[in-house]
């Protein structure tokens, strides 16, 4: 069985709201965080809109010392620090400690360091000015930059890991933290993920022709998961963070408990049986979802809400088909399903953690956030499931169990089962 694992703190940096209260307001009211990016027009990008958090570097002075802030250039690190430290504060604990917190670890994922910031490094080296780089480049270029800044600020002394599994990174980080606590290796894990889709990474996706390009003059309409007019995803940026704790450990300190992580699974389709570098194998997805249910000891009919991956590419239809097959629920019996990406775009590694924060807020506050821009659902999807399961307006409703899944390049999958705490 293992220890029960609960969520005791949350933080979020999202294109449609920074901090949990602003984010909650945004997802309840269907507020889009997608904006026109004039710079992308100048660069001849096909997609010229993005989900960028309204982030102010100055606001970090409330989180880290001015010495640390001076020379911090990695935007992904900045987002991750803010979400993680907000989650920590939300869980009722202080930032400061003299002793290492041996019982607490961190799993925080990301895809790539801020290449825009690295451009300065490349330019200086090429200009034979390597001596002017200074001491702060390596720590921000390394994949473990985000976890290093977070765990250093909070003095974590348990496992510190940086995971990277493309778009499945965020849910995978949460699952890894869950497993360490469940098996008794740690009492508390700060988990989550961060992503800054800078100009160069954005450009690389643009060149793959997987981004939405027909709504540049109407940015809030551009991200259209499951719609007939969905024409690709919109890159987003941000971070989501959660404090996970052993239930008894959390109860002993009188922590407030938002929800319970019942279990989950992460796997790969092996890039076989239809799976490729860029496409998920349905066999792998089905196994991932089924194993999540078994590990969580629930049956498919208990799922109240699916928080889908659903990016607004032509993979949406196959994803819905996979959920139907994995749960053996279809038509009117299909669970209510939503995609946060309709409001904030697809924030790659950060997607899973931001969507998990959204999932838990829906459990805690008893609502289902809308799928915005779904006024024209894809008929191939509504052949499989009832339109009533794809709400376009917020629904006030008790939500007990959420299935949250993400699927990433490399044919990697990750699924979490989240529950109201009983």
Please give the residue ranges that form the binding site for other proteins (CB under 8 A): 65-67, 70-71, 131-132, 134-136
Least distance in Å: CB of 133 to other proteins? Answer: 8
Least distance in Å: CB of 135 to other proteins? Answer: 4
- Look at strands 259-268 and 5-14 and give their pairing: antiparallel
Least distance in Å: CB of 126 to other proteins? Answer: 18
The position carrying tokens 């979490």 is 416
- Between 46 and 68, name the residue whose CB sits nearer to other proteins: 68
Distance CA 62, CA 149 (A): 15
Distance CA 50, CA 69 (A): 26
DSSP-assigned letter for residue 1: -
- Between 131 and 396, name the residue whose CB sits nearer to other proteins: 131
- Between 70 and 396, name the residue whose CB sits nearer to other proteins: 70
Query: H/E element holding 192?
Result: strand 188-195
Residue of 357, 374, 400, 347 whose CA lies nearest to 22:
357
Least distance in Å: CB of 93 to other proteins? Answer: 22
- Between 129 and 376, name the residue whose CB sits nearer to other proteins: 129
Least distance in Å: CB of 108 to other proteins? Answer: 22
3-state secondary structure of 45: coil
- Between 128 and 131, name the residue whose CB sits nearer to other proteins: 131
- Between 137 and 310, name the residue whose CB sits nearer to other proteins: 137
- Look at strands 395-396 and 104-109 and give their pairing: unpaired
Buried b (16+ CB within 10 A) or exposed e, 343-379: bbbbbbbbbbbbbbbbbbbbbbeebbbbbbbbeebbe
Least distance in Å: CB of 139 to other proteins? Answer: 9
The position carrying tokens 């399961």 is 389
């Amino acid at each position: 069985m293992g220890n029960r694992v609960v969520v005791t703190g949350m933080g979020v940096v999202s294109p449609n709201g920074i901090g949990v209260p602003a984010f909650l307001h945004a997802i309840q009211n269907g507020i889009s965080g997608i904006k026109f990016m004039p710079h992308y027009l100048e660069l001849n990008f096909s997609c010229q809109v993005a989900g960028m958090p309204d982030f102010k570097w100055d606001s970090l002075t409330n989180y880290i010392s001015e010495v640390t802030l001076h020379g911090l250039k990695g935007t992904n690190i900045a987002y991750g620090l803010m979400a993680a430290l907000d989650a920590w504060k939300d869980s009722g604990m202080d930032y400061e400690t003299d002793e290492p917190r041996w019982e607490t670890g961190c799993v925080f994922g990301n895809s790539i360091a801020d290449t825009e910031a690295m451009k300065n490094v490349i330019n200086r080296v090429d200009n034979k000015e390597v001596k002017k780089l200074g001491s702060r480049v390596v720590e921000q270029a390394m994949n473990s930059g985000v976890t290093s800044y977070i765990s250093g600020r909070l003095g974590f002394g348990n496992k510190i890991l940086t995971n990277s599994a493309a778009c499945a990174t965020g849910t995978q980080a949460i699952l890894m933290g869950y497993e360490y606590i469940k098996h008794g290796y740690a009492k508390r894990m700060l988990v989550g993920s961060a992503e800054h889709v800078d100009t160069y990474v954005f450009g690389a996706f643009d060149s793959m022709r997987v981004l939405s390009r027909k709504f540049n003059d109407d940015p809030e309409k551009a991200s259209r998961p499951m719609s007939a007019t969905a024409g690709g995803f919109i890159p987003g940026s941000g971070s989501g963070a959660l404090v996970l704790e052993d239930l008894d450990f959390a109860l002993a300190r009188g922590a407030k408990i938002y929800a319970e992580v019942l279990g989950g699974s992460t796997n790969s389709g092996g890039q076989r049986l239809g799976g490729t570098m860029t496409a998920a194998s349905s066999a792998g997805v089905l196994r991932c979802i089924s194993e999540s249910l078994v590990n969580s000891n629930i049956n498919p009919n208990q799922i109240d809400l699916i928080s889908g991956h659903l990016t607004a590419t032509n993979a949406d239809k196959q994803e819905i088909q996979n959920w139907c097959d994995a749960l053996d629920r279809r038509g009117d019996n299909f669970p209510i399903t939503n995609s946060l990406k309709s409001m904030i775009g697809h924030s790659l590694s950060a997607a899973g953690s931001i969507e998990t924060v959204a999932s838990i807020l829906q459990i805690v506050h008893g609502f289902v956030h809308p799928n915005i821009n779904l006024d024209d659902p894809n008929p191939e999807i509504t052949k499989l499931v009832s339109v009533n399961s794809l709400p376009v307006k917020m629904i006030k409703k008790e939500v007990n169990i959420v299935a949250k899944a993400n699927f990433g390049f490399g044919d990697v999958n990750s699924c979490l089962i989240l529950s109201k705490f009983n």
